[in-house]
């Protein structure tokens, strides 16, 4: 079994590669597009505080667990779970965790790709408008056009499929090495722009001063779901990448680095966006269009705005691609191992599946806008079911598996640490705090 597991995947040549790949998966639309509008929809500071607490107390411990499972199993999440369940002498039903995770990834990809399509379309938007009204009008007009939305959605899926078909190891390294730092620099530039909008303090207060009366079960679940989504947890993406991690890499340190980079990017995006919101009389509750109606105003007004705006949306699209490949990878790796299909066949089939569901998300902004499920349009509904239900549930099961099912000595062996203070804190968070808190939030929400 060990021999076979070794032969399924190679390992990445350097320790840096795992960090790049995991950061590439984590940093994406979730940070720059979703975090700001979720914060805006859920009352600002209170949401941000709960979100940060979820990252530290639940997200990082589960990330450590997920990477550890992935590296020990050394194959696709579904087969990894099967292998580790056998190692722990327990039921094969754990394979389902990998399988439902792969499904969650495809469902997320279906609407992620629609939003990524917006980012790609904005590369060509020209950034000539300077007023909130004109910029908002452009975005609304764009959403009303089903043909454009489906075109960009299709293009994004095709690019994702091509990269995944060729094998994710090729190319990923070079991209993230140079392009991610560039994206980071433009976000800093936007923060500098935000400082002189006249509403910088107002933006900061909104983002960081919690109004505790705003916390309710919706806000708790939204912040929890966002923590899972932004760190790519609960569905096997990080587990799939863990399979390629060199055996001597320190999992704990790595998880901290990835989570810190990811959180840093999200907070900076918020710091850049909210001052623009307030300075231009926009509402924080703008919803999914928030970045698309704020940042173009900044680019329209700043020197060399066309250059920076175009570059920003190119880099955002690439950040989305480095996330989308991790959304489809758990399914593709599983197809390749278990059905012995070619990577290209697996990528095309699963890409087509995600694409076809995504078409409904694209149409939910225009032709199908009246079609509601529990009061949500199709885009919102897929987003809700995956991020706020499937990922947290996946997280509970991962925590239970590592904390209660795996043999402790195997956990210690894979993490390569001794049973001391750090291990005990982590193990406690994983065994008790994470599953109980996530469970409570879910139950509280449904009651
Ligand atoms: N973390 C990505 C983002 O913030 O854009 C989205 C994502 C990727 C979520 C992979 C889940 C996942 F498994």
CB atoms within 10 A of CB 30: 28
Q: In this predicted structure, what is the pLDDT of residue 181? A: 86
Give me the mean pLDDT over the 275-281 stretch.
Answer: 95
Q: What is the C-alpha separation between 377 and 354, in angstroms, rounded?
A: 17
User: Separation of 322 CA from ligand 1 center, angstroms?
Assistant: 9
pLDDT, mean of residues 330-350: 95
DSSP of 16-31: HHHHHHHHHHHSSHII
Ligand 1 atom nearest the C-alpha of 26 is: 1
Q: Looking at residue 11, what is its pLDDT?
A: 78
Alpha carbons within 13 A on the beta-carbon side of 294: 33
pLDDT tens digit string along 131-174? 999 999 999 999 999 999 999 999 999 999 998 998 766 656 66
For residue 33, the CA-to-ligand 1 centroid distance in Å is: 12
Residue 350 CA to residue 107 CA, distance in Å, equals 10
Q: Is the CB of 119 under 6 A from ligand 1?
A: no
**What is the DSSP secondary structure assignment for residue 230, as one 8-state letter?**
H
- pLDDT band for position 222 (cuts 50, 70, 90): very high
Mean pLDDT is lowest, of 3-12, 88-97, 105-114, for 3-12
Q: Mean pLDDT in the chain?
A: 94
Whether residue 287 is predicted with pLDDT greater than 80 in this model: the reply is: yes
Q: How confident is the model at residue 180 (pLDDT cuts 50, 70, 90)?
A: confident
Residue 293 has pLDDT above 50, yes or no: yes
**Tens digits of per-residue pLDDT, 94-122?**
999 999 999 999 999 999 999 999 999 99
Distance between Cα 386 and ligand 1 center (Å): 11
Tell me, using a 6 A CB cutoff, whether residue 35 lines ligand 1: no
Mutate to test the pocket of ligand 1, among 34, 107, 327 (most ligand atoms within 8 A of CB): 327
Ligand 1 nearest atom to the CA of residue 31, by list position? 4
Concatenating the DSSP letter of every residue in 393-405 gives HHHHHHHHIIIII
The pLDDT of 421-426, averaged and rounded, is 97
- Which pTM value belongs to this model? 0.95
Higher pLDDT, 139 or 14: 139
Ligand 1 atom nearest residue 262's Cα? 4
Amino acid 307: pLDDT: 95
Rounded to whole angstroms, what are the CA distances from 397 to 65, 241, 265, 289, 403? 11, 19, 28, 33, 10
| Mean pLDDT, range 322-345, rounded to an integer | 94
Query: 387: closest CA among 288, 243, 317, 260?
Result: 288
Long-range contacts of 208-211 (CB under 8 A, 24+ apart): 208/45, 208/48, 209/44, 209/45, 210/44, 210/45, 210/46, 210/48, 210/49, 211/43, 211/44, 211/45, 211/46
Number of helices and strands in the chain (H, E) = 23, 0
The fraction of the chain above a pLDDT of 70, given in percent, is 96
Dihedral angle sign, alpha carbons of residues 12, 16, 21, 25: positive
């Amino acid at each position: 079994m060990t021999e076979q597991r070794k032969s399924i995947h190679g390992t990445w040549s350097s320790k840096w590669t795992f960090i790049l790949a995991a950061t590439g998966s984590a940093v994406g639309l979730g940070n720059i597009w979703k975090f700001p509008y979720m914060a805006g929809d859920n009352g600002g500071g209170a949401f941000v505080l709960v979100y940060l607490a979820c990252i530290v107390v639940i997200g990082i411990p589960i990330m450590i667990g997920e990477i550890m499972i992935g590296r020990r199993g050394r194959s696709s999440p579904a087969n990894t779970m099967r292998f580790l369940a056998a190692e722990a002498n327990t039921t094969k039903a754990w394979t389902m965790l990998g399988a439902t995770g792969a499904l969650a990834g495809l469902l997320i990809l279906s609407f992620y790709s629609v939003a990524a399509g917006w980012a790609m379309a904005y590369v060509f938007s020209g950034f000539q408008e300077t007023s909130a009204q004109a910029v908002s009008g452009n975005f609304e007009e764009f959403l009303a056009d089903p043909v454009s939305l489906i075109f960009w959605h299709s293009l994004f899926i095709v690019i994702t499929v091509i990269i995944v078909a060729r094998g994710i190891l090729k190319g990923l390294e070079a991209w993230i090495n140079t392009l991610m730092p560039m994206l980071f620099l433009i976000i800093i530039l936007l923060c500098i722009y935000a400082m002189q909008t006249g509403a910088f303090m107002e933006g900061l207060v909104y983002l960081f001063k919690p109004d505790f009366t705003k916390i309710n079960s919706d806000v708790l679940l939204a912040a929890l779901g966002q923590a899972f989504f932004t760190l790519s947890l609960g569905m096997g993406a990080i587990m799939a990448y863990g399979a390629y991690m060199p055996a001597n890499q320190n999992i704990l340190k790595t998880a901290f680095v990835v989570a810190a980079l990811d959180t840093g990017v999200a907070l900076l995006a918020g710091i850049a966006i909210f001052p623009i919101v307030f300075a231009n009389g926009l509402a924080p509750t703008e919803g999914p269009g928030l970045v698309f109606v704020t940042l173009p105003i900044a680019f329209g007004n700043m020197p060399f705005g066309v250059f920076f705006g175009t570059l920003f949306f190119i880099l955002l699209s690439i950040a989305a691609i480095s996330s989308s490949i991790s959304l489809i990878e758990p399914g593709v790796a599983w197809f390749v191992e278990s059905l012995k299909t070619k990577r290209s066949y697996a990528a095309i089939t699963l890409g087509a599946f995600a694409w076809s569901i995504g078409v409904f998300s694209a149409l939910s902004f225009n032709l199908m806008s009246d079609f509601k499920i529990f009061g949500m349009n199709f885009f919102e509904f897929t987003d809700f079911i995956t991020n706020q239900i499937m990922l947290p549930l996946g997280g509970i099961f991962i925590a239970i598996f590592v904390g209660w099912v795996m043999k402790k000595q195997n956990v210690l062996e894979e993490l390569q640490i001794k049973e001391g203070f750090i291990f005990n804190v982590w193990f406690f968070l994983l065994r008790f705090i994470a599953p109980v808190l996530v469970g409570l939030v879910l139950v509280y929400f449904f009651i």
